[in-house]
Amino acid sequence: MAKTGTTTQGLRAAIERSGYYPALVAEAVEAAVGGEPIVSYLVHQETTFDANEVRRHVTVLVLTGNRFIVSHTDEQAADGTSPSPYATTSTESVKLQRISSVVLSRVVANPESYTPGTLPREVVLTIGWGAVSRLDLEPAACGDPNCEADHGYTGSSTADDLSLRVSEAGDGPDTVRQTLAFAQALSEATTATPDTGR
């Protein structure tokens, strides 16, 4: 379940409510945040199905006055590297000046009768800061249908550092609302942060 708020205690409570290894997740997030005041946060737990296995993972997003912090924790079944199940948690701290895009995609039902303020059916929050990019290439062509020359390739590069999908059906309306609130806070913070070129 996603939660958003503005206090360290609220963040800790949201992590505990998620029920996903709360001591491990909270320790990693609190170490990354340090003593900085929290502006907003979002805790999102997701369950996925991988072949015959059910996997859970949690993503915690934290916005401070200077940084965007993302923490992700996955659980793994026993394998060749470990005789017992284990969890992996990672945190990344990004200066707000490095955030290059905050994309919020909204899916609404019956758009012809949409009323402003109605919650979307689902939202996808995509945040880019240049750590991961996706490159889509295709053969380039010219306008001549008889041309057989090699025109090389054309394509596009898309920032793809983090993408988080939240739906009303799967996560509940509060989660959608909280994701919208976090996205707005992050977008406003990146707009308010001067671009230093670094």
pLDDT of residue 1: 38
pLDDT of residue 111: 94
169 pairs with which residues across the strands?
none
pLDDT of residue 156: 61
Residue 27: band (very low, low, confident or very high) from pLDDT cuts 50, 70, 90: very high
Amino acid at 46: E
pLDDT of residue 52: 73
Mean per-residue pLDDT over the chain, rounded: 85
Mean pLDDT on 121-149: 80
Domain boundaries, the chain: 1-96
User: pTM for this structure?
Assistant: 0.79
For residue 104, the number of C-alpha atoms closer than 13 Å in the C-beta half-sphere is 18
